[in-house]
Structure 1
């Protein structure tokens, strides 16, 4: 596999936007994931500094990160984060929607990575589900579940739009759409 190096100056997302994180509370219940991260873009050079800075305060200094390169167009070898360097590695065997963070002092954390283009309602569901202590759901299972839920929501919206577009409850007893002005309402001449 070839690696592409992007020489453009990264945006400083740490000062523009805080990291969107949902972390499991500290508990003895170990789950498949330690929370979720919803980046603003697919640019690891710009996205990792605010993530590592947010985690440095609560979990300790992040020293290494691993990703699956399927979701990231450029995987840098290192990223500068608030006075230290985070080493970035990639493994095709790792689930594409999972990020692994390592620290010398605290250990390892696995985060669900929510795609940047995800709708806010779907991201909120995923972030809440990934932060449940002791959950046996993996990154792949959560993403598959959200695909099914999202499809159901889209189908319900489409059905509602069809219902409204056909006049909703304004149907004749013979199944023909009726104009709203033919409803038996005061002022329409119906008594």
Structure 2
């Protein structure tokens, strides 16, 4: 696979990132499905992820090395971001729900956060983040509060079902290109 220079570059937030709107469980539990909730202010991943990594590092300690996100939920898709002098790798997975972000680091560090859509009301965002940060929370984030798919991508529900089925069967569909028939020999 040939990668462009843009794909290989490390994106750095040049301004002061906003304070992350984040609510974490008081003590992480191995029985929890979620470790808290996060309410980004925009769909700009460089600014929002810098803010999130900075807040998590300050609150939980440890180093965040990787972040996993759903690509349809964000405006750009950087492969690496620079935060506080460190480089964090960002992975984009179509199989991951838009309402979930997973951050990992050394020594089995893993933080799963429910993501609230940037345009959600304060009441909805607060309720979602409170529910996600409850000890031993066994709920998943709901689609009502997730970041919606990118508006430029108007796919039908049937197309999404086909892709979801294909993804769970081990295949991979590139959504940017229409399917082509195999070449006949």
Q: TM-score per shorter chain, which class?
A: 0.5 to 0.7
- Secondary structure in 2 aligned to 1:73? coil
> Does 2:67 match 1:55?
no
Q: Offset at 1:71?
A: 0.5
| Residue 43, structure 1, aligned to residue 44, structure 2 | yes
C-alpha contact 1:78 1:87 (8 A) present in aligned 2: yes
* Residues 61, 105 of structure 1: 8 Å contact kept: no
Residues 37-82 of structure 1 deviation map (CA, whole Å, 9 limit, x = unaligned): 1111001111111110111123211110000111012110001101
- Per the normalisation by structure 2, the TM-score is 0.67
Structure 1: gaps spanning 5 or more residues: 148-191
Of residues 122, 131, 140, the one that matches 2:133 is 131
Moved over 4 A (4+): 3-11
| Change in CA separation of 1:28 and 1:101 when aligned onto 2, cut-off 3 Å | closer
How far off its partner does 1:11 sit? 5.6
C-alpha distance in 2 between matches for 1:109 and 1:42: 20
- 1:32 Cα shift? 1.1
**Where in structure 2 are the equivalents of 1:70-85 lying within 5 Å?**
70-85=72-87
* Equivalent of 1:113 in 103, 112, 115: 115
Which secondary structure state, in structure 1, belongs to the residue aligned with residue 56 of structure 2? helix
Counterpart of 2:27 in structure 1 is 26
Unaligned runs of 5+ in 2: 147-185
Q: SS where residue 18 of structure 1 aligns?
A: coil
RMSD between superposed Cα atoms in Å: 2.6
Looking at secondary structure, tell me which structure has more helix per residue: 1
CA–CA distance in structure 2, aligned partners of residues 82 and 69 of structure 1: 24
Alignment correspondent of 1:179: none
CA distance in 1, matches of 2:118, 2:40: 5
Larger Rg: 1
